[in-house]
Homo-oligomer: A and B are copies of this chain.
Amino acid sequence: MMPMIPPDTIRITPATRADVPLILDLIRGLADYEKLSHEVVATEDLLLQHLFGPRPAAEVLLAYRGDHAVGFALYFQSFSTFLGRPGIYLEDVYVRPEVRGKGVGKALLREVARVAMARACGRLEWSVLDWNEPALRFYKSLGAKPMDEWTVHRVTGDALRKLAGL
């Protein structure tokens, strides 16, 4: 008989190709929470190609509680010119609503911070929606500093094509 995994045990593990359907499901869960479901056009094929192809664009960690997959973190390498060192940019961190407040988010962030330290990165950054009060409080408790003076600007679609002169 297989030993049971205690239902409150948290385990963080790198995702593999076989996890692509699960990753897409978690991305959709995150988009739903952020009220941005209309923006999700990712497909399993795209994730397979860009995350598990010859030159992965990002890395994914999965969080399990007991034997349930309950969250993920996706990050890629950044670079700080002022530090002269790489950093880690955490594009997404998500925990399913029914298991919030049980340490899953913190376990994911701790593992990403360990990756950053292991790679001699100078910083770990991520973006937070201004109305997400529970997240803002949580990140403050971890020692994260809000970069209030800065605003991210984005060019996409036709504006990107036009800027490129195409």
Q: Give the interface of A toward B (CB within 8 A).
A: 27, 30-31, 36, 39-43, 46-47, 50-51, 57-58, 74, 76-86, 89, 91-92, 109-110, 113-114, 116-117, 122-131, 139, 142-156, 158-166
A41 surroundings in chain B (CB, below 8 A): 82-84
Question: Is there contact, CB below 8 Å, between B149 and A154?
Answer: no
Question: Is there contact, CB below 8 Å, between B125 and A154?
Answer: yes
A143 surroundings in chain B (CB, below 8 A): 155, 158-159, 162-163
Report the Cα distance A146→B162, complex, angstroms. 18
| Apart from the given pairs A125-B152, A127-B150, A150-B152, 16 other A-B contacts in the complex at a CB distance below 8 Å | A30-B81, A39-B82, A74-B81, A78-B89, A110-B164, A116-B164, A122-B156, A123-B156, A123-B160, A127-B147, A129-B149, A131-B149, A143-B162, A145-B153, A145-B155, A148-B151
Report the Cα distance A151→B139, complex, angstroms. 12
Question: Is there contact, CB below 8 Å, between B117 and A42?
Answer: no
Question: From DSSP, what is the main secondary structure of chain A's interface residues?
Answer: mixed
Report the Cα distance A81→B43, complex, angstroms. 10
Selected contact of A82 from candidates B31, B51, B160, CB within 8 Å? B31
A74 surroundings in chain B (CB, below 8 A): 79, 81
Selected contact of A91 from candidates B81, B160, B162, CB within 8 Å? B81
